[in-house]
Structures are given as structure tokens and as C-alpha cells.
Amino acid sequence: MKKLTGSILVLFSVLNTAAQTPSVIPRPKLVVGIVVDQMRWDYLYRYYERYSDDGFKRFLSKGFSCENTFIPYTPTYTAAGHTSIYTGSVPAINGIIGNNWYRRDLKRNWYCTDDSVVSSVGSTSSAGKMSPVNMLTTTITDELRLSNNFQSKTIGIALKDRGAILPAGHAANAAYWFDNATGGWITSTYYMNDLPGWLKKLNDKKLPDQYLKQNWNTLYPINTYILSTADQKSYEGELSGEDDSFPHKTDTITSNKYDIFRNTPYGNSITFDMAKAAIDAEKMGQRGITDFLAVSFSSTDYIGHTFGHNSIEAEDTYLRFDKELADFFSYLDTKIGAGQYLVFLTADHGVAHIPAFMKENKIPAGTFDDAEVLKWLNENAEKKFGIKRAIEQVINYQLYLNYAALQENKMDREEFKRWAISELKDHPAIMSAFDLHELPGTPIPVKIKEMVANGYNQKLSGDIQFIFKPQWFDGGPTGTTHGAWNPYDSHIPLIWYGWGIKPGKMNRETYMTDIAATVAALLHIQMPNGCVGHVIEEITK
């Protein structure tokens, strides 16, 4: 009897254990990766009181926020940011060291997604001659496709080609970006030979024209925008030759109207339209397998560059984006099902204040001109050493030396580098300059050294690096930019919501490169093959 009782207990224990073990690995129906181009971390809280309950506040109250997420490399540019988010690696490994870099073999600058082998699809312009061919590693979107023998669909969408192509990965079903020549969404023969029917129908609606007819006025009474500077400032840029104040008369623009369209919040609106259309038509998240939509919102970057961080235009753009984000959540709840999709939102970089604005408020700042520095250094080098064009290019805060010219003039390369570094250090914009080949022994702060090392690719990068003083950058008298190591460029939001995410927040330092590793852990798939990030365990527990 005792043996029988014991056998029954063992059997019950086995059955109970089996009942607790899932027959399949639980995964979300759809992963949506959102990159808000040029979104500083503090935008989450700067306009917090003006946000709706279901946009950014839904992320912050019902999701998980990694409050101290940083970019671990420099320069902090768009292509490098999107690539590092989705590869979990850094430019030193993935090969995307900037939006552009200098090719010594070709004697010219090279764009991050240039591919002369492919052709435009959906346009006769050259805007479609793009692919991920220059990216050296896999992405988390690639790994999802690889994990189930390519059953998952992965699609990238952005106004910018680099914002769509690099996140979508090498094995993507599609990547779509905006073409100024047609005012529609295009792709390249890397992905397909013809646009799908649903996208042709969407392009036929001419949504950019419909949005431009609305003009751009503030969403709320302009006197309520107390978190921004006055509407009209001499250091702000402008749209299409009009003055830089509200309302912006976009309905009268005829020249370069689709380029200007990017510089309005309606560029974000059409990106949301495109994201919904892709989910609907491709049945993403509705096919019994996990799909991945990588969507990047580019107009925040265009507007920030033109009008600056402290402008009413920037504030209005984020208030509008918040409302559209809330609507997108509502759409996903209905289409995919609440709790059935996983979303993360982050940024590819931040942005600096306009130097003139900083000076206006007694804070040190200034601008620098790469072209002028290249000219100045080469003129001085010719006077001192008799060498013409001793430096081939200045780009990404790096100098590319002309090896052939130095050799022809029997100039010792190390001696010339010491001279060039000394010249750079005398420039009022520059905090430090050093030989990239001697980086380990360079006496600069450890954090900056690590960021430079992570951004340095031995085959692609230059010879000498310089670091700006805080609030200095390469630019002109109006607008602003990004690219430096400083927190205003490198401190970005990282918020998670939906499937498997418990509400919370933390201040432990995390990095852009941790995103891919964390998504891989949540999906139970391999992380990208160049990933150096770590799983954010607080999210996965």
C-alpha cells in the first residue's frame, strides 16, 4: 500500500510539473522598436505636465524606464545610433562610424547606406540606391528571422533611408523611406523589384500634400508655450525663406516642398500612417509568429536642427508626437491586442542647445567649421613643410592624413602628427587632440577614452581625433546639431511597455547597446553577432 501511495505521489508530481511547463516558448505577437531621432532624455520630463495620459505617460506609468541610458561611443550621429541600437555593438565593430566617413581608396566621402549595385524602387531618383551592405554585423531583427528559419517578418520604416535600412537588418523583408522627388515611400532592389500594391495605393493618396495644406500652427494657444524661448529668434532657422514665426504657411510652399515637409511635425504623422498601413497589409503580429517593426521618426531631428532645442517648434512637435503616440497605442491595442505586443522607445542621439542661445544666457558656447580648419591646417602645413594637401579630410572630428603626400615629401608621419595635434590644441573650440593610433596612452578622462575607442574602427577611421569644449560644435550661426560625447548628445531615453514588462524605473547606468541583448533575452533568441551589450535584468525578471 505504501509503495502504491508513493507511486501515486510521484505520478502526481510529474503531472503537476508538466502542467507548469509551457508547451511553447511564450513570445509577443509583435515587437515595435521606436527610435525618436534627436530625442534627449529630458524631453520625457520637460513637457511632462502637457503630455496626455496615454502617450509618453503610458510608457512612464505602466512601462519600465531606464533613466540613465547612454550612448557608449562618439561621434553620436544618426546612422551610428540606429545601428548600435539594433546590433548591440559599437562602430568599432559594426563599421557604421558616422553618417558619412572618408574613403581613402576612393578619395571621397562615403555615405553609410550607399550601394551602387542596387536601384530605386518606386522612384526614378537615385534616393533608392541604398542597402545595409556597409553594416558588418547582424541586427536583432536579423536574429529573429534566423531563429525561426525566416518565418518572422521584419520591416523598417523612416523618412531617412538610414533610419529604415540599418534597423531592419540584412535579412529584412523590407525597408521603406521617403523620397523628396516623388513625395512618396520608396525602397531598393535589395529588397524587391516592385512596390507592394498596398504601398502604391498609400502613395497615391499624396498624404504629404494633404498635410502641408493644413499649415503648421501651434497645437495650443501660443502663449501657453512657456517652456520655450520667444517665437522669433535670430538664431533659429526658417522654412522655405519665410520668417521663423508661427503660423508656418506650408500651404504656399512650391519649391522643394517635400524636403521642407520633413521639417514639419507632419513628417512624424505620415510615419505613423505608414507604420499602421504596413501592420495592416502585411498582417504583422497576426500570423501566429513574432514579427518586428522597426520605425524611426525623423522629423524631430530635422526640426531640432533648424529651430533648436528651446524653440516653440520643438515643444509643439513633442506635444503633437505624444498625441499621435497615444493614438498608435490605441491602434495596437485593437489590432494586436493589449499585452500582446512589446514596444521599446529610445533615441539615436540627443542635441546641444544653440550656442547663440547659450551666450544669450551667459553660458559658454561656440561653433567650429570643419572646412575652415581643413583649409587652415593645410595652409600652415604648406608654409612650414612645403607639403600641399597634407590632410585629405576633416570629418567626424577626425583628421585623415595624406600618406602619399607625406611620403613624397619625405615627411615623417609621426612628426607631422605631433605638429598637427599641437596646432589643433591652439584652436579655441578644442579641448584636446590626440593620435588615434596611440589612444591607450592618451591622458584624457576614462569615459571619453572609452567612447572614442568604441567609435574607432581601425580600417575606416582617421588618424587624429579632436574633442570639443562643452557646448561647442561644427555648425553655423543658426540652428544646432549633435555628435559629441557630452550628456546633452549621449543621454537618451529608454522606455519599455507591453508584453512581459512590469511597471518600474531605475537609475542604474545602462547603454544603447543593451537594447538588442535585452530583446534577445525576452524573445529567447541569439543576440546579434557583434553584440557587446548586456541584458537589462531588471526588465526580464
Residue 13 lies in a domain: no
78 is catalytic: yes
The one catalytic residue among 69, 78, 290, 478: 78
From residue 29, alpha-carbon distances to 2, 189, 388 in Å are 49, 29, 60
Angle at which helix 299-307 crosses helix 266-282, to 10 degrees, equals 170
Whether 517 and 427 share a structural domain: no
Residue 447: give its domain's CATH number.
3.30.1360.150
Whether 496 and 533 share a structural domain: yes
Residue 530: give its domain's CATH number.
3.40.720.10
Quick one: three-class SS letters along 254-308? Answer: CCCHHHHHCCCCHHHHHHHHHHHHHHHHHCCCCCCCCEEEEEEECHHHHHHHHHC
Whether 192 and 328 share a structural domain: yes
| pLDDT, tens only, 402-438 | 999 999 999 999 999 999 999 999 999 999 999 999 9
Whether 452 and 536 share a structural domain: no
pLDDT at residue 3 above 60?
no
- Give the CA count within 13 Å in the CB-facing half-sphere of 513: 21
Q: Which grid cell sits at 435?
A: 593620435
The pLDDT assigned to 541 comes to 79
Q: What is the mean pLDDT of the chain?
A: 94
Residue 331 lies in a domain: yes
Tell me the mean pLDDT in the region 76-81.
98
From residue 496, alpha-carbon distances to 292, 493, 501 in Å are 15, 10, 7
Q: How far apart are CA 217 and CA 237, in angstroms?
A: 17
Whether 516 and 446 share a structural domain: no
Positive/negative CA dihedral, 322, 328, 331, 336: negative
Tell me the mean pLDDT in the region 146-174.
98
Q: Where are the beta strands (DSSP E) in 84-209?
A: 100-103, 108-111, 120-121, 154-157, 174-179, 184-188
Domain range holding 143? 34-359+486-540
- Give the CA count within 13 Å in the CB-facing half-sphere of 499: 20
Residue 247, preceding peptide bond in cis (omega within 30° of 0): yes
Give bridge partners of residue 184 from the DSSP assignment.
Answer: 179
Q: Which grid cell sits at 35?
A: 527610435
Residue 85 lies in a domain: yes
Whether 164 and 40 share a structural domain: yes
317: left (phi over 0), alpha (psi -120 to 50) or beta: alpha
Whether 253 and 347 share a structural domain: yes
Q: How many separate domains does the chain show?
A: 2
The pLDDT assigned to 254 comes to 85
